Amino acid sequence: MDIPSTTVIRAGTLIDGTGAAPLERAVVVIEDGTIAAVGQKGKAPLPDRPGVRELDYPEGYLLPGLIDAHTHLMFGTVGNHGYHDGPYETVIERDTDEIMLLRAAHNTHIHLSAGVTTLRDCGARNRVTFDLREGARQGLVTAPRLLLSGRPVTITGGHFFWCNGEADGEDGVREAVRQLVKEGSDFIKIMASGGGTAITDNRKHSYGVGELRAIVEEAHVHGRLTTAHCLATQSMVNALDAGVDMMEHGGFIEPDGSYIFRPEVAERIARQGMYVSPTVQTGYRGREALLEQARSSPLDPVERLRLDALEAKCESQVEFLGRLWSEWDVKIIAGTDAIQTFGDYCLGLELQSQAGMSNMEVVKSATGGAARAIGMDDLVGTVEAGKAADLIVVERDPLEDIAALRTMSMVMRDGRVIVPYRSMEE
């Protein structure tokens, strides 16, 4: 559908993603999908010609489109028509790449409808997400801006090895990076420790410093940023030693499986200016489901062990995030690690607020700060002239209650107002 070349948006309040004070009675002028001017009503220059589209939200709050720095689009079917993925291995063994591509297309529209106008996919099998991006380019898919790692680089038998990105030794990992760049990877995702993949151990690092440094060097030669999945504390140290650009999770898991915050590691993260996407909501919905189940009937021994593990994980994630931010001023950005549920983006922001971050800092972590971390701040993340018209409007003030970002009044991507996703049950 064609859209007007010029749009004027008026909103009660603008929160622009830079951390600046909100602007009341805001006006944003959009030309051909790009923000042309930002100002206050009565002061901003307005186009004086026919055919201008006007969008008025006199009580609304206008913000940049949100950014999710960590998703896995080929998964994520929990909550969609009652269908449940099960463990990684169940999905991997059951579903073809073609089914995963269809699911990924489905998930992009769900997440976009929740206000996420830019997302990074941090690991998919074979060419699934590359094909998704081509479908979006051809207008076949309703999607946010997609930054893709493709297959994550992992040791033989490492986390996500079934994505077919196994590589060992410094020469092997360099070759893997070159191949990913050739295929179209926007950044390089490294599995620096074990994870939820059945044969791996999240208490142990995977790559040594030499291999990690080779990945980083090769990625930087080709103009690609790197990010590392780090659950084991030693993997965090290795990533810091190797100069990885960004860290996912930051689990602080010791060899005995305990969660222990290490101030000396936090100090290094801060000193090196490394961005951290703590994916603080992972496990939260699973814990909720088990707690709800326990209210109606006793849990069996396996379920009780799983609940205990999720309790320890979820509590440590919130505590450690709060300490990284408040004690060390680590640069935190928003990422859901959306594996089971898409569209639930705001939960992580609520947990960031619960961990002690101010709501303004939470908003920045999901907009301007996230854009800088992923190398997209020249295009998205803030409401400024020259940036893409990726915008959202909500009814309530997220600086008062971050949960206001749960309900979108409007989502715009490149100047186009997005038709919200509707499930078949609606």
The DSSP code sequence of 343-405 is: S-THHHHHHHHHTT--HHHHHHHHTHHHHHHTT-TTTSSS--TTSB--EEEESS-TTT-GGGG
My answer on whether 119 and 244 are in the same domain is yes
My answer on whether 291 and 275 are in the same domain is yes
DSSP H or E segment with residue 64: strand 53-64
Q: What is the pLDDT of residue 136?
A: 97
Percent of residues, the chain, with pLDDT higher than 70: 96
Q: What is the pLDDT of residue 340?
A: 81
pLDDT (tens digit per residue) in 8-65 = 999 999 999 999 999 999 999 999 999 999 999 988 778 878 889 999 999 999 999 9
Among candidates 212, 195, 255, 184, which has minimal Cα distance to 70? 195
Q: What is the pLDDT of residue 110?
A: 95
Residue 36's domain is classified under what CATH number?
2.30.40.10
Largest CA distance in the chain: 70
1 in any annotated domain: no
pLDDT (tens digit per residue) in 344-397 = 999 999 999 999 999 999 999 999 999 999 999 999 999 999 999 999 999 999
pLDDT (tens digit per residue) in 406-420 = 999 999 999 999 999
User: Does residue 294 surpass a pLDDT of 70?
Assistant: yes
My answer on whether 161 and 207 are in the same domain is yes
Do 261 and 320 meet the contact criterion of CB atoms below 8 Å apart? yes
Of the pLDDT bands very low, low, confident and very high (cuts 50, 70, 90), residue 80 is very low
Backbone phi, psi, residue 269, to 5°: -60, -45
Residue 148, judged by CB atoms within 10 A of its CB (0-12, 13-18, 19+), counts as buried
What range does the domain containing 143 cover? 66-373
My answer on whether 173 and 99 are in the same domain is yes
> 177: alpha, beta or left, given left = phi > 0 and alpha = psi -120 to 50?
alpha
My answer on whether 251 and 269 are in the same domain is yes
In terms of pLDDT, which residue wins out, 146 or 51?
Answer: 146
My answer on whether 121 and 137 are in the same domain is yes
116 in any annotated domain: yes
Q: What is the pLDDT of residue 180?
A: 98
51 in any annotated domain: yes
CB atoms closer than 10 angstroms to residue 290: 18
SS3 23: strand
Q: What is the pLDDT of residue 425?
A: 52
Residue 269 in tokens: 């993260």
Among candidates 136, 239, 128, 144, which has minimal Cα distance to 189? 239
Query: What is the radius of gyration, based on Cα positions, of the chain?
Result: 21
The amino acid at residue 261 is F
My answer on whether 122 and 50 are in the same domain is no
My answer on whether 218 and 341 are in the same domain is yes
Q: What is the pLDDT of residue 363?
A: 98
My answer on whether 388 and 272 are in the same domain is no
230 in any annotated domain: yes
Task: Determine which of 78-82, 97-101, 263-267 has the lowest per-residue pLDDT on average.
Answer: 78-82
Percent of residues, the chain, with pLDDT higher than 90: 90
User: Does residue 81 surpass a pLDDT of 70?
Assistant: no
User: Does residue 229 surpass a pLDDT of 70?
Assistant: yes
CA 376 and chain centroid, separation? 13
The tally of domains found in the chain comes to 2
108 in any annotated domain: yes
My answer on whether 299 and 403 are in the same domain is no
425 in any annotated domain: no
My answer on whether 52 and 75 are in the same domain is no
Question: Average of pLDDT values for 64-87?
Answer: 76
Residue 128's domain is classified under what CATH number?
3.20.20.140
My answer on whether 359 and 387 are in the same domain is no
